Structures are given as structure tokens and as C-alpha cells.
């Protein structure tokens, strides 16, 4: 997972340098790992599991509770709410286009979507199950899941491994191509306004694409230090340094305040911003990023242009239909 760690510091050093990069459109499909090829049956099962609150200890929290596929793929809260009203210290990242992340979670502690899907279920603040053995035992009491797992994986196949594979298969379908930006790059020069084109040029000239590069605007999978440039006003107002980021995983002081570079796709829909959800508006987020990462003071006009461009990164969302979850007639799992 941390093979790329040796380049992290280098990334921090070049973060203020403008990088000449080709503008790329978002792929319309995501590659699947060899041990989990995408099938319609897996996707349908994964959608059921993703939306089923019975994977939580209280039966009240599902994956979709914090990663809402009816909107921007998260919950628009500074800190997501789990079982029994508990809240964590981080803002939920969007699930849309998560298939194009090199690592998952703000601290990159999961290398794959499959590994990511396993984590929240047994997190005591999030979904609160004591163990995946308990999850599997619960699923086996629901007849409809026996059928769905058999259809996707074969007989007697209810397991943690298959459940997380199914959820990941569903998440790989959550892709939002054909944004105004994509159409512009593909040749439709009327897809972006003059202001958005100005913002696009400013994003590159400032050096934003040093980190937010590639088709998903999330870089090549590297971590990045945040903040780089200390600012006492923002430090006091937004408490950015309270979270040690990657160091929470590696326990290395040199990794403090490094975070996965988040996607800019659909960013207009995912307020509030940053790992702790401390910044409420996109205008302020752009202003803060320019100062803390690039040590640049932007004019109001420059901020407006960049925000206009970022609004052009909102893609077309594939239609989502809610699954019918397997019932337990005449009984409850509790």
C-alpha cells in the first residue's frame, strides 16, 4: 500500500510548480481486479448490501447513509453520523468515481475498494458490528441473501470476502462522465463558458494540477501534505492540523498531515470541504487551498473563475434505482 511513500515528500516540494499536463476525459468504465471481475449479479447483490442498514449493529446505518448515491456520493455533513448518533472526525469522501482512486479513505489505509468496503461495517463509530463473523451470521438468517449470493458466487457463498467483492463491484459502476469539461476536452468548445475556460487555465498556471491531475483530478495516487504553508488565521479557524492523516496509519512523524489527494469531480456537490469538513463553501475552499498549498493570494475574480471551472466538473450521473432488500417475514434480526 505504501510503495509510493518514498515519493510523498517530493510531491510536497513540487506542489507549487505548474505542471504541463494533458487534459483527460473520465473513462466510462472502471477496470476490475482479476479476482473480482464485474458481473451483473455481483453488482445487483452489491447494491443491496450497500443500501441495507442491517449491516450495522443498530439496523439504522448503511453504506448509503454516509455515501448517498442520490446526490454527490457523500452526506454533506462536516462529520458523518454512525450508529447511536456518533460522529467521527472526518468528512465522508464521495463514492462517485472512487473506482479511480489509487487508495481509499483520507489516510489511504485501504488499497482497494474491496478492502474499503470491509472497514466501516466493524468500525465502532460507523456501523458498529462487533465482527464480520457476526455480519455473515446475520446474512445467513435472511433467505433472500442466500439466493442472491448463490446467483452471484455459487452455493454456500455468504462470506466477508464475497460481500465486500459485491459491494466493490457495485461501486465500480458509480462513474460520472460527460461533464461540460469532458465534452470540452473531447472537442465541443461550446461546452464550457469563457469564465470556465479562464478558470481552467488558472488552475493549471497556478500549479493546482501538480496534485489534482489525471482524468479524476486526484493525481497519480500519491499523498500530499496539507497544509504546506502555515497560516495562523486558517489554523485557528479550521483546525486543519488536529488530524495527523497518514501518520495515524504508519505511526511515523514524517507522515504527519499527509492525506490522499481527493478527486475534484462533482466537487460543487460535496460541500463542506477538506478532510474535516471545516470549510462550508467552494469559494472559501479555493481561497484556502491557494494560500495553504501554493502560498498564493487570489483575487475575487480569480476565485470566481476557478469555482466556475470546478462547477464544470459535475458529470452525468447514471440512474440509480433502489434495490428491494430481502425481507425476514414475521421476524427481526434483533
Catalytic residues: 126
C-alpha cell belonging to residue 272: 463542506
Say if CB 133 and CB 13 are below 8 A apart: no
CA angle centred on 289, ends 212 and 67, rounded to 5°: 65
How many helices and strands, by DSSP H and E, does the chain display?
A: 13, 2
Q: List the beta bridge partners of residue 81.
A: 87
Output the 3-class SS for 188-225.
CCCCCCHHHHHHHHHHHHHCHHHCCCCCCCCCCCCEEE
- Interatomic CA distance for residues 224 and 13, integer angstroms: 10
Question: What is the CB neighbour count within 10 angstroms for residue 215?
Answer: 17
- Interatomic CA distance for residues 89 and 308, integer angstroms: 30
- Interatomic CA distance for residues 221 and 47, integer angstroms: 26
Say if CB 204 and CB 210 are below 8 A apart: no
Does the N-terminal peptide bond of residue 113 adopt cis geometry, omega within 30 degrees of 0?
no
User: C-alpha dihedral over 153, 156, 158, 160, to 10 degrees?
Assistant: -90
3-state secondary structure (DSSP) of residue 279: strand
Amino acid at each position: 500500500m505504501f510503495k509510493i511513500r518514498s515519493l510523498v515528500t517530493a510531491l510536497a516540494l513540487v506542489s507549487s510548480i505548474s505542471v504541463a499536463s494533458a487534459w483527460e476525459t473520465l473513462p466510462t468504465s472502471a477496470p476490475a481486479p482479476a479476482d473480482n471481475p464485474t458481473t451483473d449479479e455481483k453488482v445487483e447483490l452489491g447494491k443491496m448490501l450497500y443500501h441495507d442498514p442491517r449491516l450495522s449493529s443498530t439496523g439504522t446505518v448503511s453504506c448509503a447513509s454516509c455515501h448517498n448515491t442520490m446526490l454527490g456520493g457523500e452526506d454533506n455533513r462536516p462529520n458523518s453520523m454512525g450508529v447511536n448518533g456518533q460522529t467521527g472526525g472526518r468528512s465522508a469522501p464521495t463514492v462517485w468515481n472512487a473506482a479511480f482512486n489509487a487508495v481509499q479513505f483520507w489516510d489511504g489505509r485501504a488499497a482497494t475498494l474491496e478492502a474499503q468496503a470491509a472497514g466501516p461495517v466493524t468500525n465502532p463509530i460507523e456501523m458498529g458490528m462487533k465482527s464480520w463473523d457476526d455480519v455473515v451470521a446475520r446474512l445467513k438468517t435472511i433467505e433472500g441473501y442466500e439466493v442472491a449470493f448463490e446467483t452471484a458466487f455459487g452455493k454456500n457463498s455468504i462470506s466477508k470476502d464475497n460481500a465486500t467483492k459485491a459491494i466493490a463491484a457495485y461501486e465500480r459502476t458509480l462513474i460520472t462522465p460527460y461533464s461540460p469539461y469532458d465534452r470540452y476536452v473531447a472537442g465541443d468548445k461550446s461546452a464550457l463558458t469563457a469564465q470556465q475556460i479562464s478558470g481552467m487555465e488558472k488552475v493549471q498556471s497556478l500549479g493546482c494540477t501538480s496534485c489534482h491531475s489525471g482524468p479524476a483530478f486526484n493525481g497519480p495516487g500519491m499523498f500530499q501534505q496539507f497544509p504546506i504553508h502555515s497560516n495562523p488565521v486558517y489554523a485557528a479557524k479550521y483546525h486543519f492540523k488536529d488530524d495527523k492523516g497518514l501518520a495515524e496509519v504508519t505511526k511515523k512523524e514524517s507522515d504527519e498531515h499527509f492525506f490522499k489527494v481527493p478527486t475534484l469531480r462533482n466537487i460543487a456537490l460535496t460541500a463542506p470541504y477538506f478532510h474535516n469538513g471545516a470549510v462550508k463553501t467552494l469559494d472559501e475552499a479555493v481561497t484556502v487551498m491557494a494560500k495553504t498549498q501554493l502560498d498564493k493570494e487570489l483575487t475575487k475574480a480569480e476565485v470566481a473563475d476557478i469555482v466556475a471551472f470546478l462547477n464544470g466538473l459535475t458529470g452525468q450521473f447514471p440512474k440509480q434505482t433502489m434495490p428491494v432488500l430481502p425481507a425476514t417475514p414475521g421476524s427481526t434480526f434483533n
